[in-house]
């Protein structure tokens, strides 16, 4: 049943799966013992299996506890019977006898195979969880390995771990082809049942932040801080930034010389528009900036977390954006409900634009 070719194949499997020899041998020994026990239900005692990859051998042992009773229970052997096998044995000892299994059929071997595969999956899951436990929220580069009707499967890391990109984590309009190398955001390492999954995303706002960290040293160093991001993947992102050092031009650092830094991120995102906004402690000023690229004349607070932003009549459509996208992203970025009004509409409402002119505090 077991020969040198088997152990050679086992060694190949160890290398392929990245599982240590000891763990594999232990799993295999347990699997074969379990298979034998299932095949021979009437056996009393515990079956132990010992494999020696160097010699290419497998040995079976029946272990039973020695008892003085003439009616031993399961897993036990009477003292008189035990001494007939080994004279020096005494009550309480564990007697181990080597045997050669007869009729260790294909069914038992198949059972062993199933248990081995389960152990392999468990080990792979544990390895995945160990390798990626500290990778949540990080940016990784991967190779698209498979694309089906819904999901994209990406090869990640040195161990060639598989990342799963679900439909909601894919960007509308992006095409993923087998062999493409792409950057993804690690959302979560999920352990469920026998499998571990690394859930990755191209649509998460965190992807934009990590891409800017790669391009902007000031963000990675912490001198420029990303305060908030709102995103509609494939269309537009708004990112609010700040710096506690007045000498640093936070927006300029993110844009880069001749737009090199922001353009690199835009290229990675397939042309997605990015508005880089200077964060402000003054919420009304922040709201005005968040409606970029539109010019805002004034912002008036109407109630808690609710405001009206007034823009020139000719900038109304720009401030609202196509299908309301610009205003919607501004609201998500600031956490405020923003009602955008044209200057003429605001006049009819008797809103005093100049009283809340955001430019007055700049």
Q: Which residues of 190-227 are buried (b: 16+ CB within 10 A; e: fewer)?
A: eeeeeebbbbbbbbbbbbbbbbbbebbebbeeebbebe
In this predicted structure, the answer to whether residue 220 has a pLDDT above a threshold of 80 is yes
Confidence of residue 19 (pLDDT cuts 50, 70, 90): low
- Distance in Å from the first CA to the final CA of the chain: 82
Confidence (pLDDT) at 355:
45
Mean pLDDT of all residues in 214-242: 96
Confidence (pLDDT) at 41:
56
Which has more pLDDT, 346 or 120? 346
- Write out the DSSP string of 136-172: TT-EEEEEEEEE-SS-EEEEETTTTEEEEE-GGGSPT
Q: Which domains does the chain have, with CATH numbers?
A: 4-130 (3.30.1480.10), 143-201 (2.40.50.140), 204-279 (3.30.300.20), 282-362 (3.30.300.20)
Mean pLDDT of all residues in 150-163: 82
Answer yes or no: pTM beyond 0.85.
Answer: no
Q: What is the mean pLDDT of the chain?
A: 86
Q: What angle do CA 316, 317, 320 make, to 5 degrees?
A: 85
Dist. CA 83–CA 213, nearest whole Å? 74
Mean pLDDT of all residues in 191-219: 87
Confidence (pLDDT) at 256:
95
In this predicted structure, the answer to whether residue 160 has a pLDDT above a threshold of 70 is no
Q: What is the pLDDT of residues 75-117, one digit of tens each?
A: 889 999 999 999 999 999 999 888 887 777 666 667 667 777 7
């Amino acid at each position: 049943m077991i020969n040198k070719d088997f152990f050679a194949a086992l060694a190949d499997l160890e290398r392929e799966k990245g599982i240590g020899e000891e763990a594999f041998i232990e799993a295999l020994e347990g699997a074969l013992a379990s298979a034998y026990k299932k095949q021979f239900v009437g056996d009393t005692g515990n079956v132990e299996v010992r494999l020696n990859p160097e010699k290419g051998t497998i040995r079976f042992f029946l272990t039973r506890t020695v008892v003085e009773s003439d009616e031993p229970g399961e897993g036990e052997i009477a003292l008189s019977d035990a001494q007939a096998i080994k004279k020096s044995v005494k009550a309480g000892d564990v007697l181990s006898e080597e045997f050669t299994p007869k009729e260790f059929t294909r069914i038992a071997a198949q059972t062993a195979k199933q248990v081995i595969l389960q152990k392999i999956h468990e080990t792979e899951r544990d390895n995945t969880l160990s390798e990626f436990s500290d990778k949540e929220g990080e940016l990784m580069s991967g190779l698209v390995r498979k694309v089906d009707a819904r999901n994209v499967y990406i090869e990640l890391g040195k161990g060639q771990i598989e990342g799963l990109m679900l439909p909601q984590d894919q960007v509308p309009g992006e095409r993923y082809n087998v062999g493409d190398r792409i950057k993804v955001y690690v959302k979560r390492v999920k352990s469920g049942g026998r499998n571990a999954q690394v859930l990755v995303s191209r649509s998460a706002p965190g992807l934009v932040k990590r891409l800017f960290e790669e391009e902007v040293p000031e963000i990675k160093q912490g001198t420029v801080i990303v305060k908030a991001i709102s995103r509609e993947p494939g269309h537009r992102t708004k990112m609010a930034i700040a710096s506690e050092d007045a000498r640093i031009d936070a927006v300029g650092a993110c844009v880069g010389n001749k737009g090199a830094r922001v353009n690199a991120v835009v290229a990675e995102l397939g042309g997605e528009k990015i508005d880089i906004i200077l964060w402000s402690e003054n919420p009304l000023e922040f709201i005005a900036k968040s409606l970029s690229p539109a010019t805002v004349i004034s912002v008036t607070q109407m109630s808690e977390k609710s405001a009206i932003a007034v823009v020139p009549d000719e900038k109304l459509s720009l401030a609202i954006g196509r299908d309301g996208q610009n205003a919607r992203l501004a609201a998500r970025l600031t956490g405020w409900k923003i009602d955008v009004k044209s200057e003429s509409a605001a006049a009819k409402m008797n809103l005093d634009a100049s009283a809340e002119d955001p430019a007055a505090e700049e």
